[in-house]
Amino acid sequence: MAQSTIQGKYLVYQNLPLVRENNLICYGSTDDKYVLFLMILTNKTIAAADPSVKVEVPDKIIGQIVSTDMTKAPHERMVKQFERNGLADAMAFGMIQLERYNKK
């Protein structure tokens, strides 16, 4: 594989970079054929262990498997789109799809 051109320190989850900016999460290496994008549409408030503390967590999420081939038009780069409730569910489903597409 070619060396990545990303500079700096990033969170790595299961040997792939995970970057979040506001409500957009990008997971995967740009050296692979595809990466996973997750867009957080809504959040919900839940009570923490301490009932006086409220925590906002992602609720509705749209995920996309996107080609890293920059020669394609933007609308041709998206190969799969899905919607999930909860970040854990969206991430788990997206990682399975990402692995499947990168093996093709």
- Going by pLDDT thresholds of 50, 70 and 90, the confidence category of residue 78 is very high
Q: Above 90 in pLDDT, residue 90?
A: yes
Residue type, 59: D
- Going by pLDDT thresholds of 50, 70 and 90, the confidence category of residue 9 is confident
Query: CA 82, 86, 88, 94: dihedral to nearest 10 degrees?
Result: 10
The predicted structure's pLDDT at residue 48: 81
Rounded to the nearest integer, the mean pLDDT of the chain is 89
* Calpha distance 77→64 (Å, rounded): 10
For the chain, give the number of residues: 104
Stated pTM of the model: 0.82
Query: What phi, psi does 98 have (nearest 5°)?
Result: -60, -45
* Calpha distance 67→101 (Å, rounded): 9
Tens digits of per-residue pLDDT, 49-75?
A: 887 888 899 999 999 999 999 999 989
Domain ranges of the chain: 11-103
Higher pLDDT, 73 or 3: 73
Residue type, 5: T
* Calpha distance 53→62 (Å, rounded): 28
Which DSSP string corresponds to 69-94?
-TTS-HHHHEEEEEEEESHHHHHHHH
